[in-house]
């Protein structure tokens, strides 16, 4: 029940503190193993999703990545983002999530990862442009 209130706050936690909090969420009494979470759970925990361990973040599926709030994206440390998210995972970001990527995070990404984020940032514009061209 407390998670509902935590998702609305931005806690000044260290990465280690966020990892400790998120480990509590993956217990059977809370939401169960992260591998079973749908996007709604990521939305429920809000910014605390930034504290998920590297191995967990690197194994997220497209549906799960879609549930990470833009605020949580912005809180992931730049080095962590560059290490845990593949270019494919970054291509799954929504427009809002992609625009939440900070300058510091961007600077740590490699060329493929930057390209994926760039495509995600302008996905809506590209789709509108393509639709306009087909009419």
pLDDT tens digits, 63-116: 999 999 999 999 999 999 999 999 999 999 999 999 999 999 999 999 999 999
Q: For 53-64, give one letter per residue: b (16+ CB within 10 A) or e.
A: beebbeebeeeb
Q: What is the pTM of this model?
A: 0.79
| pLDDT of 124 strictly over 60 | no
């Amino acid at each position: 029940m407390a998670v509902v209130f935590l998702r609305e706050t931005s806690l000044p936690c260290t990465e280690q503190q966020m990892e400790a909090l998120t480990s509590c969420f993956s217990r059977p009494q809370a939401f169960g193993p992260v591998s079973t979470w749908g996007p709604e759970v990521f939305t429920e925990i809000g910014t605390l999703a930034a504290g998920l361990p590297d191995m967990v973040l690197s194994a997220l599926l497209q549906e799960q990545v879609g549930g990470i709030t833009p605020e949580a994206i912005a809180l992931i440390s730049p080095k962590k983002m560059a290490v845990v998210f593949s270019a494919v995972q970054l291509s799954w970001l929504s427009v809002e999530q992609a625009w939440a990527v900070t300058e510091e995070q961007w600077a740590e990404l490699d060329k493929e990862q930057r390209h994926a984020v760039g495509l995600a940032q302008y996905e809506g514009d590209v789709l509108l442009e393509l639709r306009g061209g087909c009419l």
